[in-house]
Amino acid sequence: MPIFVALASLLFLGVIFGPQLWVRRVMDRNGADRPDLPGTGGELARHLLDAAELTSVAVEKTDLGDHYDPNTRSVRLLPQHHDRRSITAVAIAAHEVSHAVQHAQEEPGFLRRLEATRALVWVERIASGILVLAPVVFILVRSPAVVILQVCAGISLLAIEVIVHVTTLPVEFDASFAKALPVLVRGRYLAAGDLPAARSVLKVAAYTYVTAALATLLNVMRWLRILRF
Please state, in angstroms and rounded to a whole number, the distance separating the CA atoms of residues 126 and 132: 10
Query: Applying CB under 5 A, which residues contact Zn ion?
Result: 172
- Nearest 5°: phi and psi at 39? -165, 175
Using CB positions, name the residue nearest to Zn ion. Answer: 172
Q: 43 or 172, CB closer to Zn ion?
A: 172
Q: 80 or 128, CB closer to Zn ion?
A: 80
Please state, in angstroms and rounded to a whole number, the distance separating the CA atoms of residues 228 and 212: 19
**CB of residue 66 to Zn ion, shortest distance in Å:** 8
CB atoms < 10 A from the CB of 174, how many? Answer: 19
Question: Can you name the residues that pair with 37 across neighbouring β-strands?
Answer: none
Q: 85 or 95, CB closer to Zn ion?
A: 95
**CB of residue 205 to Zn ion, shortest distance in Å:** 6
Q: 87 or 206, CB closer to Zn ion?
A: 206
Angle between helices 2-29 and 87-104 (to 10 degrees): 90
**CB of residue 172 to Zn ion, shortest distance in Å:** 5
**CB of residue 136 to Zn ion, shortest distance in Å:** 37
- Candidates 224, 199, 222; CA nearest to 65 is 222
